[in-house]
Amino acid sequence: DPRAGAVTVLCARRYAVEDVPFSVPAASETTDLSHLINKLLAAADADHKYVEFDFLINGQFLRMPLVTHMETENISTEEVVEIEYVEKYMAPQPEECIFHDDWISSVQATEEWILTGCYDQTARIWSLEGKSIMTIAGHTEVVKDVAWVKQDSLSCLLLSASMDQTILLWEWNVEKNKVKALHCCRGHAGSVDSIAVDCTGTKFCSGSWDKMLKIWSAVPTDEEDEMEEAANRPRKKQKTEQLGLTRTPLATLSGHTEAVSSVLWSDAEEICSASWDHTIKLWDAETGDLKSTLTGNKVFNSVSYSPLCRRLASGSTDRHIRLWDPRSKDGSLVLLSLTSHTGWVTSVKWSPTHEHQLISGSLDNIVKLWDTRSCKAPLYDLAAHEDKVLCVDWTEAGLLLSGGADNKLYCYRYPATASDVGA
Amino acid sequence: LQDIRNTVGNIPMEWYQDFPHVGYNLDGKKIYKPIRNKDELDMFLEKMENPDYWRTVQDKMTGADIKLTDEQVDLVHRLQRGQFGDVRFDPYEPAVDFFTHEVMIHPVTNRPADKRSFIPSLTEKEKVSKLVHAIKMGWIKPRKPKDDAPTYYDLWAHEDPNSILGRHKMHVPAPKMKLPGHEESYNPPPDPEPGLSSRSRSLAWGAQGTSTGAEVGVGGDGRGTTTAAVDGRGTAWSCLTACFSQVNVDPEDLIPKLPKPRDLQPFPTTQALVYRGHTSLVRCLSISPSGQWLVSGSDDCTVRFWEVCTARCMKTLPVGGVVKSVAWNPNPTVCLVAVCVEQSVLLVNPCLGDKLLYGATDQLLESYVAPEEERVQPVQWATATVEEHGKGVRLVVQHGKAVKQVTWHGKGDYFASVVADNSNMQVLIHQTSKRWSQNPFRKSKGLVQCVLFHPVRPYFFVATQRYVRVYNLLKQELTKKLMTNCKWVSSMAIHPGGDNIICGSYDSKLAWFDLDLSTRPYQLLR
């Protein structure tokens, strides 16, 4: 029965209203509540312009009529309910669309440049406006992952990992716009699917189809590492010329029973790896020991860590995105499960500025922007791709990027609003 | 002197007094007395005149007179004087004391006890240490302690009243036990408070008491009880009382419990990826043992290799004929795919994955040395031409007729191919490392639909239209014939664990066999 519930509304300082309980109709929705707030603000301030608000009850976004929400959340209608309201997040605005020659397997962007890895065996550097700056060719197979090591105004160091089992460390001279291969990191026995550089920029780790993780030094040197010469090496050397000096791994971490799909550094000396054997493992990079394992039900395609909320987000082949606490002692504890995709989730990425937001790309061609406080539905669906989405990225400056099998890289501008929770 | 030895022996010679002879000699002839009658007068004269009379003796044996020699006379005189007979004997030799008369410091017979009488025996110590060593080495095993538990003899175990021998044996009829009384039928529901019930139970037992010939009732749930009784002599007899089984079977128990679908995962629920690229019917699929690559063959005469996680087509191989079947070698160290193209089977190295692995596979194939003598083979093995080698084909096995299916053995060296005709040459087994093919069957048992190797054990499954025959490859004989109740079997698959087989048929039935259970399907799904 449509009884009215008593509510108090809290908000940010900008849109403050009196802290007085209100009576609102039970069937009111977000738009109705929004109107209410705006009326209150207009009454207080003469030239107040209409602003859309979004409402949170107990940390959950209100997405349905108030009474249905309260029923599902078992909130009694007798008591006074506190509702927070925040300025509604604007949709990300599409900015650029960069065309490639083949599928885009990975993308990583910084303040000024975008680095993409492509299935045509090259990695490319683009400007934020979409202009092609550099094409980095050298691999003999598809490039599966790319990463920046460090940048300064003169030269940048970057890595590209490929299905030809090697990782190449490149130096890019910005001024002259020339790129040179410094090191060729050999050691994997299968396609290298994922690389991650640590926060100091001196080390990086790689995960591959041979079920191993290897840690390498990212500092360019002039020596070549000794490598065991396999019997076929001389034959291969004649076919392809060596790019850069050979480098061998500093350490190899083994423990996964299937291919490693994604790696990242969650701490200064801690590596997190997600694999096709349904587990996410946390390793100590110094000793090489396995610290803990989080077990799931399905293959993990991608994993991302947010130091702001200290949570791991994982994308799996069962179309869910799960949030984990890596510090939990007891095996596996899924904190939250975000379901909306209708295909495998191939990549997830947390926002570097907002502790509750993340984007995910999936094989159903859609990139979804989520707020973890509203776990029933994503905030926005970015359905621009015509084919599978293979990689996503989020920069500090508020740029969302997604690359897919339709050879296109889309960039969206998403204003970085500070997390605004009131008293 | 004649050698006259009398052979009569020790007899009184008076017996021959009256006879002319005194015995017999060695030849048996009589020994006659000397013919001389000596009367008293002659004897007196002899006594007086014969100087040697005092030393003449008549030999009783021969009857002759013997004159004693000087030594003999000496001997007689010595004996008469009571001296020792032998001349050489000296009765006055010096005496040697066995026990000396002097007093020595060490006693001979009365010496004190040795130290070894007081300390533990050394010889025994040696013996014991040898025994210990033997026990430690396991040469001597300690005796097992005898089990003192009383053994029961079930007299009526093999009782068969109808057998003839049963009547002859010493027949002791089973003792009639007392029917279960109140204490056995007392079966209270479980108490909510366990503390209370145990007390009450102990009280009940205490009240019973024990007596000779007591009955100890052991648990009962209404169906039948085992009672043990001790009779007067102390032997325990145990027997089952009559099984009064009531038919209180819950009908729910009879329905077999099928596993929940969630337990049978992974099975396909949703479509995840679509691999686009073929232009015609896709007939066959195979996935690499690592799970990274997928190979598919189609009616558009190409074989395509895909990356599983992204649906990327890595390679396309035009083979110039409709592809009926593909199979990826299950050995993870060998990188080979068998492709059935019309009348031949191609062994292709896809060159995907670890470079060292597919390089090693190539080397392995190239290191083959043909045997010296020509072997008669039902098919022809040929290495690929240079052009084909560039595409990835390594070996071509030319069959005479269209090949329907190819499948690998678990170890990756042998593979079997099925040819689409109804002769005994339908199934062929090939060995890649020796490039040798053989026909395992002499007689055709029907149109072969498909064949399979067991993933672990040496079994070979051949599915014909109505049956699946299981052959043991080591013993080279038929092990089992599985009866599918289907009219026309189309395909067959085996669980990687190796215990279950599923056969699908054209009459929309799926027969699931549990190999350990029976030759009939465990379940028939429609």
Instruction: Say if residue A267 is in the same domain as residue A312.
Output: yes
| Residues B381-405, mean pLDDT to the nearest whole number | 83
CA A331 to chain centre: 24
Asked if residue A226 lies in contact with residue A248, where contact means CB atoms within 8 angstroms, the answer is yes
Instruction: Say if residue A75 is in the same domain as residue A111.
Output: no
Report residue A371's pLDDT band, with 50, 70 and 90 as the boundaries: confident
Residues of chain B above pLDDT 90, percent: 7
CB-CB under 8 Å, A232 with B363: yes
| Residues B191-202, mean pLDDT to the nearest whole number | 54
CB-CB under 8 Å, B353 with A164: no
Instruction: Say if residue A68 is in the same domain as residue A217.
Output: no
> In angstroms, rounded to a whole number, what is the distance separating the alpha carbons of residues B20 and B30?
9
| Residues B70-99, mean pLDDT to the nearest whole number | 87
Nearest-neighbour CA in chain A from B267: distance (Å): 12
Please report the domains of chain B, with CATH numbers, ordered by start residue: 13-81 (no CATH), 282-367+377-525 (2.130.10.10)
> In angstroms, rounded to a whole number, what is the distance separating the alpha carbons of residues A50 and A34?
9
pLDDT at B344: 86
CB contacts, 8 Å: B272 with chain A: 317, 343-344, 363
Domain with A30, as residue range(s), is: 6-87
pLDDT at B249: 63
For residue A418, is it within any domain?
Answer: no
CB-CB under 8 Å, A258 with B291: yes
Domain C-terminal end among A87, A113, A145: A87
pLDDT at B79: 92
DSSP, collapsed to helix, strand or coil, labels residue A230 as: coil
Instruction: Say if residue A27 is in the same domain as residue A131.
Output: no
Inform me whether the C-beta atom of residue A301 falls under 8 Å from chain B C-beta atoms.
yes
Residue-wise pLDDT for B316-343, tens only, equals 888 888 888 899 888 888 888 888 888 8
- Give the dihedral of Cα atoms B184, B190, B191, B194; nearest 10 deg: 100
Q: Given a cut of 50, is residue B214 above it in pLDDT?
A: no
> In angstroms, rounded to a whole number, what is the distance separating the alpha carbons of residues B207 and B362?
87
| Residues B60-78, mean pLDDT to the nearest whole number | 86
Inform me whether the C-beta atom of residue A180 falls under 8 Å from chain B C-beta atoms.
no
For residue A82, is it within any domain?
Answer: yes
**Residue of higher predicted confidence among B5 and A227:** B5
Give contacts of A 29-88 with B, CB under 8 A.
none
| Residues A358-377, mean pLDDT to the nearest whole number | 86
Asked if residue A101 lies in contact with residue A120, where contact means CB atoms within 8 angstroms, the answer is yes
pLDDT at B133: 94
Residue-wise pLDDT for A381-398, tens only, equals 888 889 999 999 998 888
Nearest-neighbour CA in chain A from B272: distance (Å): 6
Give strand pairing partners of A196. A205
pLDDT at A292: 86
Residue among A210, A276, A390 whose CB faces B310 most closely: A390
Residue among B273, B312, B357 whose CB faces A363 most closely: B273
pLDDT at A207: 92
> In angstroms, rounded to a whole number, what is the distance separating the alpha carbons of residues A203 and B107?
98
Q: Is the peptide bond before B266 cis (omega within 30 degrees of 0)?
A: yes
How many domains does the structure of chain A reveal? Answer: 2
**Residue of higher predicted confidence among A326 and A224:** A326
Instruction: Say if residue A82 is in the same domain as residue A128.
Output: no
Residues sharing a CB contact under 8 Å with residue B297, sequence separation 6 or more, in sequence order? B282, B283, B284, B303, B323, B324, B325, B326, B339, B340
Asked if residue A360 lies in contact with residue A368, where contact means CB atoms within 8 angstroms, the answer is yes
Asked if residue B520 lies in contact with residue B501, where contact means CB atoms within 8 angstroms, the answer is no
- Residue of A105, A191, A227, A298 to mutate, testing the B interface (most B Cβ within 10 Å of its Cβ): A191
pLDDT at B380: 82
**Residue of higher predicted confidence among B282 and A22:** B282
Residue-wise pLDDT for A248-289, tens only, equals 899 999 999 999 999 999 888 899 999 999 989 999 988 888
pLDDT at B127: 96
Report residue B217's pLDDT band, with 50, 70 and 90 as the boundaries: very low
Inform me whether the C-beta atom of residue A266 falls under 8 Å from chain B C-beta atoms.
no
For residue A422, is it within any domain?
Answer: no
Q: Given a cut of 70, is residue A239 above it in pLDDT?
A: no
The tally of CA atoms less than 13 A away on the side-chain side of residue A209 is 25
| Residues B31-44, mean pLDDT to the nearest whole number | 80
Residue-wise pLDDT for B474-514, tens only, equals 888 888 888 888 888 888 888 887 888 888 888 888 888 88
Nearest-by-CA chain B residue for A364: B272
Asked if residue B377 lies in contact with residue B437, where contact means CB atoms within 8 angstroms, the answer is yes
Residue among B273, B312, B354 whose CB faces A189 most closely: B354
pLDDT at B167: 59
Q: Given a cut of 50, is residue A420 above it in pLDDT?
A: no
Give contacts of A 85-124 with B, CB under 8 A.
103, 105, 119
Instruction: Say if residue A176 is in the same domain as residue A117.
Output: yes
Inform me whether the C-beta atom of residue A191 falls under 8 Å from chain B C-beta atoms.
yes
**Residue of higher predicted confidence among A153 and B167:** A153
pLDDT at B472: 87
| Residues B273-298, mean pLDDT to the nearest whole number | 87
Q: Which CATH number belongs to the domain containing residue A165 in this structure?
A: 2.130.10.10
DSSP code, position A69: H
pLDDT at B165: 58
| Residues B295-313, mean pLDDT to the nearest whole number | 88
For residue A406, is it within any domain?
Answer: yes
Q: Where are the alpha helices (DSSP H) in A56-171?
A: 66-72
Write the CA distances from A74 to A25, B82, B138, B173, B207, integer angstroms. Answer: 18, 150, 74, 75, 59
Residues sharing a CB contact under 8 Å with residue B469, sequence separation 6 or more, in sequence order? B445, B461, B462, B478, B480, B481, B482
> In angstroms, rounded to a whole number, what is the distance separating the alpha carbons of residues B449 and B491?
7
The lowest-confidence range among A133-147, A338-352, B358-372 is B358-372
Contacts across the A-B interface (CB distance below 8 Å): 54
Inform me whether the C-beta atom of residue A190 falls under 8 Å from chain B C-beta atoms.
yes
pLDDT at A235: 40
DSSP, collapsed to helix, strand or coil, labels residue A271 as: strand
Q: Given a cut of 60, is residue B204 above it in pLDDT?
A: no
Q: Given a cut of 70, is residue B209 above it in pLDDT?
A: no
| Residue of B265, B278, B428, B282 whose CA lies nearest to B343 | B428
The tally of CA atoms less than 13 A away on the side-chain side of residue B182 is 3
pLDDT at B255: 64
- Residue of A388, A389, A391, A407 to mutate, testing the B interface (most B Cβ within 10 Å of its Cβ): A388
- Residue of A209, A316, A320, A346 to mutate, testing the B interface (most B Cβ within 10 Å of its Cβ): A209
Identity of residue B34? P
pLDDT at A205: 92
Asked if residue B286 lies in contact with residue B263, where contact means CB atoms within 8 angstroms, the answer is no
The lowest-confidence range among A16-30, A184-198, B34-48, B441-455 is A16-30
For residue A229, is it within any domain?
Answer: no
CB contacts, 8 Å: B291 with chain A: 258-259, 276
For residue A79, is it within any domain?
Answer: yes
For residue A235, is it within any domain?
Answer: no
Domain C-terminal end among A46, A69, A87: A87
DSSP, collapsed to helix, strand or coil, labels residue B215 as: strand
Q: Given a cut of 60, is residue A326 above it in pLDDT?
A: yes
Residue-wise pLDDT for A279-320, tens only, equals 899 999 888 888 888 888 888 999 999 888 888 899 988 888
Which of B173-177, B249-253, B313-317 tops mean pLDDT?
B313-317
Q: Given a cut of 70, is residue B215 above it in pLDDT?
A: no
Instruction: Say if residue A293 is in the same domain as residue A328.
Output: yes
> In angstroms, rounded to a whole number, what is the distance separating the alpha carbons of residues A35 and A42?
10
Strand order in the sheet with A104-109: A104-109, A113-118, A122-127, A132-137
CB contacts, 8 Å: B353 with chain A: 190-191, 209
| Residues B252-274, mean pLDDT to the nearest whole number | 67
Q: Which CATH number belongs to the domain containing residue A11 in this structure?
A: 3.10.20.90
Domain C-terminal end among A87, A102, A125: A87
b or e along A81-90 (b: 16 or more beta carbons within 10 Å of the residue's beta carbon)? bebbbbeebe
Instruction: Say if residue A375 is in the same domain as residue A327.
Output: yes
Instruction: Say if residue A73 is in the same domain as residue A145.
Output: no
Q: Given a cut of 80, is residue A352 above it in pLDDT?
A: yes
Nearest-neighbour CA in chain B from A332: distance (Å): 20
| Residues B40-62, mean pLDDT to the nearest whole number | 86
Inform me whether the C-beta atom of residue A258 falls under 8 Å from chain B C-beta atoms.
yes
Torsion sign over Cα B353, B356, B362, B364:
negative
Instruction: Say if residue A14 is in the same domain as residue A107.
Output: no
Residue-wise pLDDT for B127-185, tens only, equals 999 999 999 999 988 788 888 888 887 777 776 666 665 556 666 677 788 887 888 77
Instruction: Say if residue A70 is in the same domain as residue A162.
Output: no
* Residue appearing with tokens 């013997």: B66
For residue A109, is it within any domain?
Answer: yes
CB-CB under 8 Å, A103 with B310: yes
CB-CB under 8 Å, A189 with B356: yes
Nearest-by-CA chain B residue for A104: B310
Instruction: Say if residue A47 is in the same domain as residue A124.
Output: no
Q: Given a cut of 70, is residue A414 above it in pLDDT?
A: yes
Average model confidence (pLDDT) across chain B: 79
pLDDT at A350: 92
Residue-wise pLDDT for A4-56, tens only, equals 455 555 554 456 666 677 777 777 777 787 787 788 777 777 767 777 777 77
- Residue of A103, A118, A232 to mutate, testing the B interface (most B Cβ within 10 Å of its Cβ): A232
pLDDT at B210: 42
CB-CB under 8 Å, B273 with A344: yes
> In angstroms, rounded to a whole number, what is the distance separating the alpha carbons of residues A360 and B498?
40
Inform me whether the C-beta atom of residue A237 falls under 8 Å from chain B C-beta atoms.
no
DSSP, collapsed to helix, strand or coil, labels residue B318 as: strand
pLDDT at A391: 92
CB contacts, 8 Å: A343 with chain B: 272-273
CB-CB under 8 Å, B290 with A259: yes
